[in-house]
Amino acid sequence: MAASKGPLEGLIVLDLSRILAGPTCTQALGDLGATIIKIEHPDRGDDTRGWGPPFATGEDGQPTDLSSYFMCANRNKLSVAVDIATEEGQKTIHQIAARADIVIENFKPGGLEKYGLDHATLLTAYPQLIHCSISGFGHTGPNREKPGYDLMAQGYSGIMSLTGEPDGAPMKVAVGIADVMTGMYASIGILAALRHRDKTGQGQHVDLSLVDASLAWMINEGVAHLTTGKPRARRGNEHATIVPYQTFACSDGFVLVAVGNDLQYTRFCDFLGQPDLADDPRFATNSARVTNRETLIPLLEALMVQHSQADIVAGLEARKVPVGPVNTVEQAFASDQAMARGMRIDMAKDGIDRGGVELIGNPLKFSVTPVTYRRPPPHLGEDTQAVLDWLSGVRAAPEL
């Protein structure tokens, strides 16, 4: 008996998305066993193929069309080069949609109507489909026509106003977090819609926007504003409602301390040799520490800088106070924890100078139906002929 490819084995996903939000979603579905048919423009491909360097290098020493950006969200996919602006291309998309369970796209609202590939047309023709649309502002509202990129969503949602040093400029998160979180919400929405379809046979349209997703993950800071009606302050690496919960300078670098309750705070003060700071009514409870942070934090900073990072980590870990280093990306992926959890993976690929590519692993760990890594990120149009042969009945569905 062949090994399972994952809990979503047998599902077919028509992937009309590009850049990051949609591809993040479809890669997640592919890791769980679904067959992902990624449609790319024959000349340009996914925009992110050109977003480099760095690129994976071919055996000839030249850059390939596999940028690191493209590879981060496009494993476990078949690449089919199709021009949807042509009648032939639209026919191919309809042939795939007729066999698919899910369609995901990130065109501007209305952008697919002229091709007859919009959600209303496809759901009428194939009512079993789950059609997920991702856009900057969604298919309704006054801004629906505006384009959307991760940077604009971070700015619009307010997260940039809270990120950065208090006296500095608003700062975006270093990675495309609005795209990634929208992709995660898309995965949840699609799986919920599939559950409904399995019970009723009825497909539906799932409408997601980068801005909506970004507003949703404003979580405690967003609700704090809604509760008080007051602006929220930018606090750098400090926490809005937990103190101390931040970065501290030490004698040889930086360290993170996350004191989550009053008992941990008492133990923290014990490490510092300052039990009076735990007994002081200004600091004895978290609420008091939040109110008096401007007095407390300078006292703690002066004490912490007297210790090395290693001493702080060892001392606080021994007292069961959450603590950790500020790793570089290199240190994070080289850590024994990342290795033990399979967060750094190698995938063989012909034609690449190192014999393959190195990628970030999927964080999901299943006890029965594990994630599978079946195919590395594809070159543009790598699977076009195989998929066309499948549609014409010449061969079985392409294997992933």
What is the set of active-site residues?
A: 179
Which among 47, 77, 81 is positioned nearest to 65, based on CA atoms?
47
Those residues whose C-beta lies under 8 Å from the C-beta of residue 367, and which sit 6 or more positions away, are none
Those residues whose C-beta lies under 8 Å from the C-beta of residue 114, and which sit 6 or more positions away, are none
CA–centroid distance for 39 within its chain: 21
Is the CB of residue 106 less than 8 Å from the CB of residue 19?
Answer: yes
CA–CA separation, 135 and 113 (whole Å): 15
Handedness of CA 107, 110, 114, 117 (dihedral sign): positive
CA–CA separation, 104 and 118 (whole Å): 11
What letter represents residue 276's amino acid? D
CA–CA separation, 183 and 23 (whole Å): 7
Which runs of consecutive H residues, i.e. helices, occur in 305-366? Answer: 309-318, 329-334, 336-340
CA–CA separation, 290 and 238 (whole Å): 11
Listed in order, strand segments (DSSP E) in 123-244 are: 130-135, 204-209
Burial class (CB in 10 A: 0-12, 13-18, 19+), 82: buried
Those residues whose C-beta lies under 8 Å from the C-beta of residue 347, and which sit 6 or more positions away, are 75, 356, 357, 358, 359, 373, 375, 376
Which among 177, 224, 210 is positioned nearest to 17, based on CA atoms?
210
User: Which residue is listed with tokens 């007994």?
Assistant: 279
Listed in order, strand segments (DSSP E) in 123-275 are: 130-135, 204-209, 245-250, 253-258
* Peptide bond connecting 54 to the previous residue in cis, omega within 30 degrees of 0: yes
Please tell me whether residue 132 adopts helix, strand or coil conformation. strand
Those residues whose C-beta lies under 8 Å from the C-beta of residue 274, and which sit 6 or more positions away, are 303
